[in-house]
Chains A and B, each alone.
Chain A
């Protein structure tokens, strides 16, 4: 976990403080955390919408109103899956006691799929110590931006062994690409094909089910051939993956293949997820009887309540309706809600988090939540009480029997064709998730007041766009204003916007597939218009 601490910066405000020595580093997201804990926009009291105004109410009245407005329909709690394990199990116990309620643990769909793929592959998880003695690395997506700390393990190894191969598969040419020894060329949306080609070239295709591999021997590109040859003799291969939003619809297959490749080369995987507890949520979801996000969002017979997560912002959607939201700061989901409740945020919630696949970490809160602001499980409890539940059911049972152990290996998922198109969203070290919290940070606001559009100079020249110029990027019915940054390392025909802003996610909206129980987002065609 991050080493950031909190120090007072005024009578009621805080700033981040750092260890006296570098003990792993603190990324910009961690640096802005303390400021966000005490920022002015914080939601600290429940309110309901009356015409265009917000009218304060007390928590019990707000919860009663949510239950009353449900009018006998079932209620689905969309709970942020990245909170501590104790919060997840307590919320599940209250939902069990609440007749007609169901629980959904919300995580980024691409990451969930990737983690499910890993879990099915049986591969080992590696932390930074485990990575630093690997003799080869594969990076998929911009893992260095997703979690800058993971870069140090790679660099430490390469400091001693400069010839250590670093294979990068990233259509958006993120930060890791600059350090690659082998950069695999790929079209947007074809990550699975590129990984399959590398696996074939590395001679590891005998260790993975043929049904999962995309393409055949003829699809191995020259860059994949060289990259595969570079890792063919590795005795401990470390694979770092960031499941990038909107890149492809095959993250589960990619996770599975990456896990099998790592296993075949004696190494392991290091997923770099947005949330600190994404893996625990994936493992607990089945054991707690949680419903999937796809089914929670596609059902017409339920009233949805989001607790601690910006579901619509994360998926780039404006529907379906989520009439009640518990949020720490205003977000896309709360903007359209009828009732808004306060809730504690990261840094205020202590408990157990799962690190590197098996290590359980006990984390103390940096600060207590503001007076009257409940933790996520307390919000669920209050709603359950308003619906007539008297006590949680089965919290102890849910925690018994190693609930955080790996899931059962699943069957190899089927390959499906992605759509190779041109607008990609890329990770940034400064934003978390869809920016529901970090977009309010003052440093983020001054360093990057508008979205940054990365574009290759030839493409910009063809469109008559100068470096640093303001442009409008349009995709479908949505558009966003952005500032141009030339990116010579980017392939022609690809443009990249940051993923950590709700406005950019709207350009690449997710599609919900209730039949297959999945939510996916793939690259889209976009237009860049000079001028504002």
Chain B
């Protein structure tokens, strides 16, 4: 493979992106943490979604499934990949827990210590306690037309959507880096 072909392939890989992503409607999030609980209980010891406090708001921090995913590019063990469904996920048995992906993530979504936020999510399990948790959009649920990730299924207020970001304007929502807002991005109505 010559240099031009390789560059072209890399470029195509970067452009691939999963069709639907988890979006948050800030005008509906009531900070109940149902999404975090659903992720915790269904990803034993390795929840990939937690809540983070920003000012007075407590918001879920969800992987944005970047088009150009820094975590994939920086992983030295090729544990972070974009799979055949274009979902950025972590291969369990390749992850060495080095934390490179967490440092590379521009949104601070990936935990900077193995297995979740430092506040207690860290697993005591020997294997999973040394790996980085990563949202795989609930790959075991046949995500697509028939199912949504568990965090979206559990959201009682309808704040989490599993949708194509390009569809958001139809619902009068603006997308800010993978999150949606209503008319006032920083003020809840």
Contact = CB atoms under 8 A, between A and B. Distances in A.
Verify that A and B bind, or say they do not. yes
Interface string B20-31: 000000011011
Contacts of B36: 28, 443, 447
B189 A34 contact: no
Interface residues of B, number: 35
B41 A32 contact: yes
Given A20-B153, A22-B155, A35-B41, A28 B34 contact: yes
A2 B158 CA distance: 15
Q: Chain A interface residue count: which class? A: 35 or more
A175 B32 contact: yes
A22 B33 contact: no
Contacts of A334: none
A488 interface: yes
A23 B148 CA distance: 11
B150 interface: yes
Interface stretch (A68-76, A146-154, A407-415): A146-154
Nearest to B150: A18
A204 interface: no
A25 to B, nearest CB: 3
Interface string B133-169: 0000000010000111010111111101000000000
Chain B interface secondary structure, helix, strand, loop or mixed? loop
A430 B154 CA distance: 13
Contacts of A152: 28, 156-158
Nearest to A21: B148
Given A18-B38, A429-B34, A148 B157 contact: yes
A447 B51 CA distance: 9
A24 interface: yes
A178 interface: yes
11 contacts: A20-B148, A28-B32, A28-B36, A31-B41, A35-B41, A145-B32, A149-B157, A151-B30, A152-B157, A429-B33, A430-B37
Interface of A: 9, 15-28, 31-32, 34-35, 144-145, 148-149, 151-152, 155-156, 158, 162, 175-176, 178-179, 181, 429-430, 443, 445-447, 449, 486-489
Interface of B: 27-28, 30-34, 36-38, 40-42, 44, 51, 56, 119-121, 141, 146-148, 150, 152-158, 160, 183, 188-189
